[in-house]
Amino acid sequence: MSHYSPRSEREFGAAKTEPLSRSSSGFNRNGCSLASPRREEKTAKSSPQISLSDRPSLIDQVLSQGYKVAVVRIGIVSDYYYPQLGGITEHAYGQAKELSRRGHDVTLFTPNLVRAPRTADGLVRDEPFEVSRVGRAFPFYVNASETLLTAGPRLGSDLHRLFSGRGLDVLHVHNPFGVMLPMTAIARSTARVTVGTFHSVVPDGYRPLRWSRGILRRLLSKLDARIAVSAAVVASIGTHFAGFGFDVIPNGVDTNFFTPTAGTLPWLNGRKRNILFVGRFDPRNGLKEMLRAFVLLRKRRQDVRLVILGDGPLRPLYKRMVPPGLREDVLFEGRVDGLRPRYLASSEILCTPCHLASFGMVLLEAMSGGVPVVASNISGFRLLMEDGVHGMLVDHDGEGSAFCDALDHMLEHPDLARGMGSAGRQRAVDKFAWPVVVDQLEALYERALGEPRNGRTTSRARE
């Protein structure tokens, strides 16, 4: 079988953004808070427009006198960004792009990668925002997952200089408990409002969290708003930090990129029905159980093929798990970026036997692509999809037999599977499309900008 690496034909559409209007309830744009285009028509005298050069009291003027906001300066900090693939990367990019589309002045602060991961395809992205590289990111493992640690001899002073030079209104830090870059960014923030988004679920009794609780409480107290991507994150870390409230705002998905209309891939057409696995080769992502399930499934039926997207140091171990007689039908395709929608369009089912997840970006991308899902019955996935509606949730048995049964059932009932895929697509569009998610972010920014800075802590999670 020959492979090639065509570049993605992704197109980025941008819907028109309506200007803000002032109402008795605050700033709104069809129910959305805070944003307006950079190029705006002249406004009436009752709603005068002011320049961001009117520092340092711009936001105070806006909130107290009802001025229209032309541009809000937002900084986004993330250890993870392209070419590093993953859920936080996708979130940071989608957030920055949608905020920029709405007229905000956005800068994404992210490190240079010491070792840039190779991908099997290429994608040139539309970046209507500034990307500022600071420090150097080194890969290492923690919490059963590959992660990045950003370091640099002048990281703190460099961040302070970059933040001060941009006069940020909002600094939004992803993964605030991340050592070095996220923590340093919060400590050095010069923005009027500092916001943190928490992406991770930690195991019960996670020792590093207990050992560092005092330091982390001080860090949390510096945040004007705290976001969790799911209630599973709140349940995981919230009990360790009584008195701090969390707003639940989910990850978003580009529903114009992950779409059922994506074309199929020619080398995946033919006599085999494709089951897709997507994820880094971390132990917690469950590729070992996926392979066991597929071996069992092939004893029942010969019409299936397993397609694996991802990579990592454990690749040789996983490849050795494939019996010689099945190697032609277990395809290790490597890290894939721009072609992911087409891999989904070429597959009948996405399967993810993940053991620990806060949300499930892989599931959401499949749902957006109209592909039914067979997934682990864990809290982060239960909050995203409904068993029997968008796919099937399966309890782990360690041997893959439960996943084998679920996959066989879906393959035997293709009409049921297609209906689940359609329902998943509708849920992704209604609840998780980036315009929907950024509506919630803008409302949170507006609320945080309008609250006294000492009014930071509450006792409940807001959903």
The pLDDT score that the predictor gives to residue 130 is 97
Instruction: Please say if the pLDDT value at position 457 is more than 60.
Output: no
Query: What does the alpha-carbon distance between residue 382 and residue 400 come to, in Å, rounded to a whole number?
Result: 19
What pLDDT digit, counting tens, does each position of 253-311 carry? 999 999 999 999 999 988 899 999 999 998 889 999 999 999 999 999 999 999 999 99
Mean pLDDT throughout 88-106? 97
Q: How would residue 313 be classed by pLDDT, with cut points 50, 70 and 90?
A: confident
d(CA 264, CA 306): 16
What domains are defined for the chain?
21-252+433-450 (3.40.50.2000), 266-432 (3.40.50.2000)
292 neighbors 260 (Cβ within 8 angstroms): no
pTM above 0.85, yes or no: no
Per-residue pLDDT of 186-196, as tens digits, reads 999 999 999 99
Supply the mean pLDDT for the chain: 83
Which carries the bigger pLDDT value, residue 115 or residue 324? 324
- Indicate the pLDDT class of residue 179, thresholds 50, 70 and 90: confident
Query: What whole-number distance in Å separates Cα of residue 402 and Cα of residue 346?
Result: 24
Predicted local distance difference test score (pLDDT) of residue 43: 34
C-alpha 92/C-alpha 23 separation (Å) is 31
* pLDDT score, position 118: 84
Q: Are 90 and 437 in contact (CB under 8 A)?
A: no
Cα 149 to Cα 179, 215, 217, 218: the distances in Å are 7, 18, 21, 21
* DSSP3 helix / strand / coil % (the chain, rounded to 5): 35, 20, 45
Q: Rounded to an integer, what distance in angstroms lies between the CA atom of residue 138 and that of residue 69?
A: 39
Rounded to the nearest 10°, the torsion over CA 283, 290, 252, 427 is -150
The two tokens of residue 193 are 């409002």
Q: Going by DSSP bridges, is the β-strand pair 145-151/130-142 parallel, antiparallel, or unpaired?
A: antiparallel
Question: pLDDT grade, residue 148 (50/70/90)?
Answer: confident
Complete DSSP assignment for 93-154:
HHHHHHHHHTT-EEEEEEEEESSPPP-SS--PPP--SEEEEEEEEEEEEETTEEEEEEE-TT
SS3 351: strand
Q: Between residues 347 and 13, which one has the greater pLDDT?
A: 347
Whether the predicted pLDDT of 95 surpasses 80: yes
Q: What is the rounded distance in angstroms from the CA atom of residue 235 to the CA atom of residue 116?
A: 34
pLDDT tens-place string over residues 400-419: 999 999 999 999 999 999 99
- Taking the C-alpha atoms of residue 275 and residue 22, their distance in angstroms, rounded to an integer, is 51
Read off the DSSP letter of residue 75.
E
Q: What is the separation of C-alpha 307 from the centre of its chain, rounded to a whole number of angstroms?
A: 23
pLDDT band at 205 (very low <50, low <70, confident <90, very high): low
Could you tell me which residues come within 8 angstroms of residue 334 by beta carbon, excluding any fewer than 6 positions away? Answer: 118, 119, 120, 309, 310, 311
User: 123 with 111: CB under 8 angstroms?
Assistant: no
Q: What is the pLDDT of residue 122?
A: 78
- Residue 80: predicted pLDDT: 94
pLDDT of 212 reads 75
| CB contact at 8 A, 424 and 418 | no
Q: Give me the pLDDT at residue 270, please.
A: 81
Say if residue 375's pLDDT is above 80: yes
